[in-house]
Amino acid sequence: MLNLILLGPPGAGKGTQAVKLKEKYSIPHISTGDIFRKNIKEGTELGIKAKMYMDKGELVPDDVVIGIALSRLCESDCEGGFLLDGFPRTVHQAEELSAFLADSGRALDLVLDINVDKDELVRRLSGRRVCKLCGATFHVTGMPPQKDGICDKCGGELLQRADDSEETVTNRIEVYNRQTMPLVDYYEKMGVIAHIDGAAGLENVFSEITKSIEA
């Protein structure tokens, strides 16, 4: 059993690393952001509520996030471990997670804290473009499509997410620093955190992560 958390500001590359970790260790990747976006796309009550906060770069309220995340951890595919991405975001959420795991006879193995400086984060996120149809991701400079504004995979229109505008990105980073950075101290005290250089390149970052897990 391997129970992991991915920490890091928006644009740190958590999603990319999560896919690789899911494949290597055969554990479910639980992204609260993906859960929210699915509900937004489907127009559910949860989606409408979450969208109001996400479009402004703000965090969705604790009670909503905690309910969703802990319910997901109760599903059968999490019995052999999990990889949390986007939860917890606050110390209160972390405390609720710790209590939940203790009650269910489980423990956290490692928190992976991926660090990238602010200027690089803004560059990464404000240049990101997502296909309206299939969800494929591109970047205006880092990974541009063959035809400007058109998805290479399905021919759909590429759009900038509302929460990827430069102003919103800057706000998202500030919100992260204010509300989520205290988690680093929380998990430092628990002795379960590893700090990862998120600017080292995709494969180097993954190598550093796996070494930390298997140390």
Sequence letter at residue 3: N
202 secondary structure, DSSP code: H
Give the CB-side neighbour count of residue 173, counting CA atoms within 13 A. Answer: 20
Q: By CB neighbour count within 10 A (0-12 exposed, 13-18 middle, 19+ buried), where does 178 fall?
A: exposed
Asked whether the predicted pLDDT for residue 23 surpasses 90, the reply is: yes
Alpha-carbon gap, residue 25 to 199, rounded angstroms: 23
Mean pLDDT of all residues in 82-102: 94
pLDDT band at 65 (very low <50, low <70, confident <90, very high): confident
- Residue 14 annotated in active site: yes
pLDDT band at 104 (very low <50, low <70, confident <90, very high): very high
Token representation of residue 163:
């929460």
Instruction: Identify the active-site residue in 20, 22, 118, 161.
Output: 161
pLDDT band at 36 (very low <50, low <70, confident <90, very high): confident
Give the model's pLDDT for residue 213. Answer: 96
What's the mean per-residue pLDDT of the chain? 91
- Residue 89 annotated in active site: yes
Alpha-carbon gap, residue 74 to 84, rounded angstroms: 13
Instruction: Identify the active-site residue in 14, 72, 123, 124.
Output: 14
pLDDT tens track for 110-151: 999 999 999 999 988 899 999 999 989 999 988 899 999 999
Whether 93 contacts 65, CB under 8 Å: yes
**184: helix, strand or coil:** helix
Sign, CA torsion 131/134/139/143:
negative
Give the model's pLDDT for residue 149. Answer: 95
With both helix axes pointing from N to C terminus, report the angle between 62-73 and 91-103 in degrees, rounded to the nearest 10. 30
- Residue 161 annotated in active site: yes
With both helix axes pointing from N to C terminus, report the angle between 202-214 and 14-25 in degrees, rounded to the nearest 10. 50
Instruction: Identify the active-site residue in 37, 124, 128, 129.
Output: 128
Give the model's pLDDT for residue 49. Answer: 83
- Residue 172 annotated in active site: yes
pLDDT band at 162 (very low <50, low <70, confident <90, very high): confident
Whether 73 contacts 5, CB under 8 Å: no
Give the model's pLDDT for residue 150. Answer: 97
- Residue 128 annotated in active site: yes
Instruction: Identify the active-site residue in 89, 123, 124, 129.
Output: 89
Residue 99 makes CB contacts below 8 A (sequence gap 6+) with none
**6: helix, strand or coil:** strand
Instruction: Identify the active-site residue in 37, 123, 129, 172.
Output: 172
pLDDT tens track for 170-201: 998 998 888 888 999 999 999 999 999 999 98
